Amino acid sequence: MRKTMKKSELIAAVASTADVSKADAERVLDAFTGVARTALSEGKKVPLTDFGTFVTKERAARAGRNPQTGQPLTVPAKTVAQFKPAKSLADHLA
- Domain ranges in the chain are 7-44, 46-94
CA dihedral 60, 63, 66, 69 (to 10 degrees): 170
Q: What is the pLDDT along the chain (94 residues), one digit of tens a residue?
A: 678 999 999 999 999 999 999 999 999 999 999 999 999 999 999 999 999 999 999 999 999 999 999 999 999 999 999 999 999 999 999 8
Q: Domain 46-94 - what CATH class?
A: few secondary structures
| The model's pTM | 0.78
The answer to whether 14 and 29 have CB atoms below 8 angstroms apart is yes
Question: Of 57, 47, 59, 53, which Cα lies nearest the Cα of 84?
Answer: 53
Beta strands in the chain (DSSP E): 46-48, 52-59, 62-65, 72-75, 78-85
**Dihedral-angle region of residue 4 (phi above 0 means left; psi in -120 to 50 means alpha; beta otherwise):** beta
